[in-house]
């Protein structure tokens, strides 16, 4: 039986980026596998991003949500419709190259790679430069450095170890690959019950990768295949909301995977030092629109705290129960 792949794309007002992405899928080699379907889960878009999608020469199924259910939930919706061996979660602000699909599928199919559950490839930005393609699992120290702005002062010194570098084999064993191009075995996705939908957006793939790691699966990044990635995508349209969900998901991740003490430290740092750090940096740069986005994002974040902490407690309890089993 031929190996099969389904591509799942979550769309929210992605405009022409979605059409570019879909068109590029048709140009990618499909050697050694069958691309059964491109499943687009639309989170109540109000633009014309879906217009003409079914006329681009690629097999497409569209799921239209009446409301924005969030990225994790929409990914799970798409995965539930798939009967293929592999799932590729692909951002609409990406575009594939000739080798983007065939190389990772062939790699995953090798007998010696049976315990590799997640595979990413090298991401390329608009200028043709290599951009962040994988990362280490975050810890409290990393979050504190980001929250206090030290990563900006030292120009990314903290993250240099996470930038993709080539090696002789072209195969890098990593903690997590960036979710813009995220190939996962369907059996792994089902074993882990998909993405945790309590992460509305952001950190859902980090959480998934950590759970996969804890269950004996390995993640790799292949430097011999590439995928274009604009970055930001539709989230650029709602900067305040993007900040809110980033802060919220970061704290939820901390309460789910850190010690209680570390999670509480993360919460405090996110609420106080990070707010002042962000405001100071926007003031220094005279970025007044960003100042407004920061204030609005933090207003949303503070108002959501009681509900967020309720979710965090539930996450912590479920995680503790899974550990005991």
Alpha carbons 118 and 116: distance in angstroms, whole number? 6
Q: What is the pLDDT of residues 226-262, one digit of tens each?
A: 999 997 655 445 899 999 999 999 999 999 999 999 9
Q: What is the pLDDT, as a whole number, of residue 163? A: 42
pLDDT score for 237: 52
- Give pTM, 2 decimals: 0.92
How many other β-carbons are positioned within 10 Å of the β-carbon of residue 145?
17
Share of the chain residues as helix, strand and coil, in percent rounded to the nearest 5: 50, 20, 30
HSE (side-chain half, CA atoms, 13 Å) at 182: 26
Would you state the pLDDT for residue 166?
A: 44
The CA distance from 282 to 211, in Å, is 36
Q: What are the angstrom distances between the C-alpha of 264 and each of 147, 159, 174, 212?
A: 14, 24, 28, 25
Calpha distance 297→247 (Å, rounded): 9
The pLDDT, as a whole number, for residue 238 is: 82
Specify the pLDDT at position 149.
Answer: 79
Other beta carbons less than 10 A from residue 172's beta carbon: 19
Q: List pLDDT tens digits, range 277-319.
A: 999 988 888 888 889 999 999 999 999 999 999 999 999 887 7
CATH number given to 4-232:
3.90.550.10
Q: What is the pLDDT of residue 164?
A: 41
Provide the residue ranges of all domains of the chain, joining segments of one domain with +.
Answer: 4-232, 238-324
Q: Which residues of the chain have pLDDT under 50?
A: 156-166, 235-236, 323-325
pLDDT (0 to 100) of residue 320: 62
Instruction: List the structure tokens of 56.
Output: 């681009």
């Amino acid at each position: 039986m031929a190996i099969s792949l389904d591509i799942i794309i979550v769309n929210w007002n992605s405009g022409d980026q979605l059409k570019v992405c879909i068109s590029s899928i048709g140009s990618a080699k499909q050697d050694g596998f069958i691309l059964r379907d491109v499943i687009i889960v639309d989170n109540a878009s109000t633009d014309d991003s879906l217009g003409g999608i079914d006329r681009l020469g690629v097999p497409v199924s569209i799921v239209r949500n009446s409301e924005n259910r969030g990225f994790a939930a929409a990914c799970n919706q798409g995965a539930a419709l798939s009967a293929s061996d592999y799932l590729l979660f692909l951002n609409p602000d990406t575009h594939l190259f000739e080798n983007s699909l065939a190389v990772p599928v062939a790699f995953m199919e090798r007998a010696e790679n049976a315990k590799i559950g997640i595979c990413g490839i090298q991401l390329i930005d608009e200028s043709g430069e290599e951009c962040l393609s994988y990362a280490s699992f975050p810890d409290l120290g990393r979050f504190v450095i980001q929250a206090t702005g030290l990563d900006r002062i030292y120009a990314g010194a903290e993250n240099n170890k996470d930038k993709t570098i080539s090696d002789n084999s072209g195969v890098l064993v990593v903690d997590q690959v960036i979710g813009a191009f995220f190939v996962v075995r369907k059996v792994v996705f089902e074993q882990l019950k998909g993405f945790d939908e309590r992460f509305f957006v952001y950190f859902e793939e980090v959480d998934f990768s950590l759970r996969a790691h804890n269950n004996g699966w390995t993640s790799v990044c292949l430097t011999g295949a590439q995928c274009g990635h604009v970055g930001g995508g539709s989230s650029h349209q709602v900067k305040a909301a993007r900040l809110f969900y980033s802060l919220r998901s970061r704290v939820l991740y901390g309460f789910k995977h850190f010690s209680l003490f570390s999670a509480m430290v993360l919460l405090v740092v996110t609420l106080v030092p990070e707010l002042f750090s962000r405001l100071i940096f926007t003031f220094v740069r005279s970025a007044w629109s960003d100042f407004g986005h920061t204030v609005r994002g933090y207003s949303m974040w503070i108002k959501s705290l009681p509900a967020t902490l309720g979710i965090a407690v539930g996450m912590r309890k479920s995680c503790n129960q899974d550990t005991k089993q």
